[in-house]
Structure 1
Amino acid sequence: MRAKLATSATRSAAALSRATGRGDGSVIGGRIGLMIDPNLLAELASGRQIVLISGTNGKTTTTRLTTAAMSVLGNVATNGLGANMPTGHTSALAKAGPTPYAVLEVDEHYLDQVLDATHPRVVALLNLSRDQLDRAKEVAMMAALWRESLAKRDIQVVANADDPMVTWAAQVAEHVTWVAAGQRWHDDSWVCPECGATIERMGDAWWCSGCTLHRPVPQWTVQHDGVVDPTGTYHEVKLQLPGRVNRANAATALAVAAHFRVRIADALARMTEVKSIAGRYAMVERDGRMIRLLLSKNPAGWLEAFDMADNVPTLLAINARDPDGLDTSWLYDVDFSPLRGRHVLITGDRAMDLAVRLTVNGIAFQHVPSFGRALASVPPGRLEVIANYTAFQDIRAELDRVN
């Protein structure tokens, strides 16, 4: 009875939040439900086959692609808007009602707690890198927490073989499927988490110079414009999402879906229908300009955003509000040189921090006080927007108000 009451309260609070325009209700609903029944997440997870997806970058996109792939089998509950802590998971499962499957994005700091509550069939580990320096754990510490959590469970893990931190954490699991998802950002994995020696790299291979830690042989590999499966068969991956990183996210989604016996062709067909994820990658027309929104929250994410962005006028937007993390020193870890030669505009609460960083990097830029002024400053055509979390949401809200 308590679980039923808590579930009803979760749905009602979430609906009220949406109706009053205070948000999508994915946090407040779960918070109220867990206050009534602290065991509600476990109750709602019971009877479902669950996938958890965690990592520093790419969680929301990989969750959306995995949900699409798994939808071949039936209804899938998911926290598709990115509320990735237990309150968000509770709200998502309550809203979905009884479904045979659930795919949940999990904040990397909460993975152990959510594993305890949901007893998933598969957990996918994407990557680990620095994020929100004022409050997030150091990367090796996060890897150690994951490793400790996985060592005590009999669980199927799908893990990125190209990230030494993820590999070290995942190798203690009894059942691991390795995905060669790539790792363009190396600055958080130069030192072996096992022994402290340097990580050496040559081509796709990496190994520790002081112990036995090394890149495992992957079963799934991103290759050119597609993915090679465990049988050696190549599958072209046609997504509406840009960049190699999203083909890597698709490879992880395919590896997860394969554990549920989803045919690769069926999974790929569903994934090609995904156009944007919570506004990310969306193309919006405004005043004769086609605007694409890219979300980047940390150095690794900005590196991938530069790879995705076309050589057109580019607006960079930076805030440092609570959801972003208050420390902007991470800007000095980003190499902005790929922007040389473009018309670069900057805006946001901390635009001046970004201005100093771009000056150091030798990047010419134009400061604009608002998104509207940015639009007026570029000719009709394409505009790329790369923003961190709250700056991204501000721009989305402005576009939504007009459209």
Structure 2
Amino acid sequence: MMRRHTTLLTGCTALALALGATACGGDPVSAGGGDKELGGQTVTVAGVWSGSEQKNFQKVLDAFSEKTGAKTQFVSTGDNVSTVVGSKIEGGNAPDVVMVPQVGVLQQFAKKGWLRPLSPTAQQTITAGYAPVWKKYGSVDGTLYGLYFKAAHKSTVWYSPEALTQAGVKPPKTYDELLKAGHTVSDSGLAAFSVGGQDGWTLTDWFENVYLSQAGPEKYDALAAHKLKWTDPTVVKALTTLGKLFKDKQLVAGGQKEALNTDFPGSVEKVFGPKPEAGMVYEGDFVAGVAHDQYGKSIGKDADFFPFPAVEGGNAPVVSGGDAAVVLKDGKNAKAGMKLLEYLATPEAAAVWAKAGGFLSPNKKLDLASYGDDVTRATAESLVGAGDSVRFDMSDQAPAAFGGTKGAGEWKLLQDFLRDPSDPKGTAAKLESAAAKAYQD
């Protein structure tokens, strides 16, 4: 998915900070070394990133090479990470490190016996720098396998300051205020929301924010693990709440039919493109990247965000996603791969990409001054400040057949619900039927 200034520390101090070891006084450095102990070795890394994300991650890999002497090679897998990595393992050509974009895939890799547990050095650095919830999402059966290097903040509503100012609307604090503000924006001549319903994943994100705030984190965790059925009254209630927005033609740009023909980039265009049709678009922090890169918007001036508001007296939700670095057992240079992972766990590594832009780190030891603008700094602060109340994207925790497949499972059923939100109970029953099958398989 899409998405300052700090001077990188150098010399002895940086090494000690970055590697969690005494890098001064002649002691050996366990995690990579100023003596270029990995010189002549190559670490291969696979991940979904391409374009600017791949380019910026390469800067992090280059910093690792500079520190350790290791060469790095990045392979872009496209969206289907598990299939690509599985075929590489079978072909005897496994990468050393994989950047895994979904909790469900990380669990799948661990259960297949593909992963190495993280080294004590990496574990210590993660324990010191991350809220425990990130260790939970990187662990399977109590063993820590994954380091969440890059995160997404999926509880941000992006808006045109001009549109809201014209309507005389201030960023709302509650879901009811959100709908009320939407009607005011609509009365001023623009639709309230642009909804990218052609991409089913955007609708799962809408549902997850409403559900987390309304039902609370315990129920959210239970539903994510399918220990709670989708027919539960809390699910029906959340769908009813969401349906109020979906069926209101004043609120959704072009109505339901147009929303179903609008993909995620198109939903951003309707707010920040040359011919605005809506004042607001809900999605993650990566909206800013599209608004800036595609439409030249100045983030904080021409495009801004407010937190997804609290629903019916609940807490404001913080839903996240992210990419976890894991080390494969079958990699040709898994030992050097673990050194890379130890480096990625440090604030120094996160600062490289933070400075480049289009990045959030869950690492609370990363200086917020590393981010290049106030808006990114605010989203990062919100993410880190949420601590253990952060919840990982629910559909990313589910088996792909239910939570991550185009035209099937949750994606399709929520698209059907957007088309006709009149029967929340019936939709919940269909979601339960699809979930039961996927979790059984």
Q: TM-score, normalised by structure 2?
A: 0.25
The structure whose RCO (Cα within 8 Å, separation 6+) is larger is 2
Larger relative helix fraction = 2
